[in-house]
């Protein structure tokens, strides 16, 4: 695959203007929970909001192809990798006002950290975020939720960069959050980057908050195939009584393997990388699920995970 023609110039500009030392041909597999994916032409790891804003604006003004990666927990990156600049977002600042219950976080803060910061301040409402192995930006993008909690229930608003580089504070309503759907997945959010978000939490009993976090940890250990690379739930649950997992199981696909990729025997809506899986194999299993559920139940499954990179779609 030919690399991106402006790579060398882009690398020099990132270093000269922002002090970023971007890596060439960096493997992306290690930056995703599925542990698959080829290289990025240029990978910049960014640790603060100021530099994130600067790098995105630079890429926008130059017309560089740009991909933002959070914790890589909802993506499958193609075996050919990603052309252009990939920003690995690790801007993880946060402020907590225990009196008002307002927490402001940079988009690179991990959701697990959000839950512990809130717990330490005696704030309740964010316990469920412990279960989401992404960061704030990825969680807003995905409209993530778990254990009866949804990001939409606690978010007040988000700071975003539009595709033209202008910055705006968007209130919750403008984020268009619904079940695993947000403005960032649709037309309105094309090219937008989430810089940070603000959450409204409530004062709570520290003992109860700690107990809730412990309960979430226990539930996950018992019900999810943790410790094996995956991207969590592969499909959204369709409307109706049957979950995506139940439909895949009923189609007889539980445990089905293609190469190193396997439909989990514990939770049929998860595809696992059993070792050495390729993105192409995961894609094949994904397509098999769609085709078989369509054939056996007449239901079209919609993807929750996103396929990124060259040849991904």
Ligand X SMILES: Cc1cc2nc3c(=O)[nH]c(=O)nc-3n(C[C@H](O)[C@H](O)[C@H](O)COP(=O)(O)OP(=O)(O)OC[C@H]3O[C@@H](n4cnc5c(N)ncnc54)[C@H](O)[C@@H]3O)c2cc1C
| CA distances, 165 to each of 56, 63, 68, 195, 282 (Å) | 8, 12, 15, 12, 35
Q: Which of 38, 101, 133, 309 binds ligand X (CB under 6 A)?
A: 133
119 or 132: CB nearest ligand X:
132
- Work out the angle at residue 263's Cα, subtended by the Cα atoms of residues 257 and 265, and round it to the nearest 5 degrees: 110
- Tell me the closest approach of the beta carbon of residue 306 to ligand X, in angstroms: 5
Selected from 3, 280, 306, 312, the binder of ligand X by CB under 6 A is: 306
Q: By rule CB under 6 A, what string of x and - marks binding of each residue 147-176 to ligand X? A: ------------------------------
Specify the residue, 228 or 297, whose C-beta has the smaller distance to ligand X.
228
For the chain, the helix, strand and coil percentages under 3-state DSSP, each to the nearest 5: 35, 30, 40
User: Is residue 180 annotated as a catalytic residue, yes or no?
Assistant: yes
Q: Identify which of residues 229 and 292 has a Cβ nearer to ligand X in the complex.
A: 229
Distance, first Cα to last Cα, the chain: 16
Task: CB nearer to ligand X: give 33 or 51.
Answer: 33
- Range in contact with ligand X (rule: CB under 6 A) among 13-21, 65-73, 235-243, 255-263: 65-73
Please identify which residue in the block is written with the tokens 């226990």: 218
By CB under 6 A, residue 69 contacts ligand X: yes
Q: How far is the CB of 313 from ligand X (least distance, A)?
A: 12
- Segment 72 to 131, residues that bind ligand X, using CB under 6 A: 72-75, 89, 107, 131
Q: Which of 76, 96, 105, 146 binds ligand X (CB under 6 A)?
A: 146
For 64, residues 6+ apart whose C-beta sits below 8 A from its C-beta are 4, 6, 10, 58, 84, 85
What does the alpha-carbon distance between residue 276 and residue 21 come to, in Å, rounded to a whole number?
Answer: 30
- The radius of gyration computed from the CA coordinates of the chain, to the nearest angstrom, equals 20
Q: Which of 43, 68, 86, 247 binds ligand X (CB under 6 A)?
A: 68
Q: Which stretch binds ligand X (CB under 6 A): 35-43, 63-71, 197-205, 234-242?
A: 63-71
- Contact string 193-222 vs ligand X (x = CB under 6 A): xx----------------------------
Write b or e for each residue in 101-129: b if 16 or more Cβ atoms lie within 10 A of its Cβ, otherwise e: bebbbbbbbbbbbbbbbbbebbbbbbbbb
Query: Using CB under 6 A, which of 92, 158, 231, 261 touches ligand X?
Result: 231
Given candidates 84, 137, 149, 245, which one binds ligand X under the rule CB under 6 A? 137
Candidate list 53, 83, 172, 180, residue with the active-site label: 180
Greatest Cα pair distance in the chain: 57
Distance of CA 289 to the CA centre of its chain: 22
Between 106 and 292, name the residue whose CB sits nearer to ligand X. 106
| Distance, CA of 176 to CA of 160 (rounded, Å) | 14
Task: Identify the active-site residue in 127, 249, 262, 304.
Answer: 304
Number of residues that bind ligand X (CB under 6 A): 32
Is the CB of residue 209 less than 8 Å from the CB of residue 127?
Answer: yes
φ and ψ at 48, to 5 degrees? -150, 160
Q: Is 273 in the site for ligand X (CB under 6 A)?
A: no
Task: Give which of 192, 1, 189, 139 is closest to 82, Cα–Cα.
Answer: 1
Q: Given 143, 233, 249, 264, which residue is catalytic?
A: 233
Q: What is the dihedral of CA 248, 250, 251, 252, to 10 degrees?
A: 100
Interacting residues toward ligand X by CB under 6 A: 33, 67-75, 89, 107, 131-135, 137-139, 141-142, 144-146, 184, 193-194, 230-232, 306
Active-site residue set? 180, 233, 304
């Amino acid at each position: 695959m030919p690399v991106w023609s402006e790579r060398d110039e882009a690398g020099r500009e990132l270093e000269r203007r922002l002090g970023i030392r971007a890596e060439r041909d960096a493997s992306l597999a290690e930056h995703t929970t599925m542990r698959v994916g080829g290289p990025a032409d240029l990978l910049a790891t960014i640790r603060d909001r100021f530099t994130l804003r600067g790098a995105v604006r630079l890429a926008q003004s130059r017309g560089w192809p740009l991909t933002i990666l959070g914790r890589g927990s909802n993506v499958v990156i193609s075996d050919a990798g990603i052309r252009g600049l990939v920003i690995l977002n690790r801007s993880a600042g946060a402020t907590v006002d225990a009196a008002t219950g307002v927490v402001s976080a940079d988009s690179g803060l991990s959701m697990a950290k959000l839950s512990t910061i809130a717990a330490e301040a005696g704030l309740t409402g964010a316990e469920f975020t412990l279960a989401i192995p992404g960061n704030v930006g990825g969680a807003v993008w995905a409209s993530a939720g778990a254990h009866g909690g949804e990001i939409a229930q606690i978010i007040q608003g988000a700071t975003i960069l539009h595709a033209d580089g202008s910055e705006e504070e968007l209130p919750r309503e403008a984020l268009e959050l619904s079940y695993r759907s947000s403005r960032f997945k649709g037309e309105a959010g094309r090219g937008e980057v989430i810089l940070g978000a603000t959450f409204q939490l409530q004062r709570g009993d520290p003992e109860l908050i700690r107990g809730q976090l412990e309960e979430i940890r226990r539930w996950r250990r018992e019900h999810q195939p943790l410790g094996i690379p995956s991207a969590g739930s592969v499909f959204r649950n369709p409307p109706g009584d049957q979950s995506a997992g139940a439909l895949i199981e009923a189609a007889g696909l539980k445990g089905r393997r293609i190469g190193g990729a396997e439909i989990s025997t514990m939770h049929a809506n998860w595809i696992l990388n059993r070792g050495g899986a390729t993105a192409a194999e995961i894609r094949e299993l994904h397509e098999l699920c769609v085709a078989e559920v369509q054939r056996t139940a007449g239901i079209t499954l919609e993807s929750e995970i996103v396929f990124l990179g060259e040849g991904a779609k």
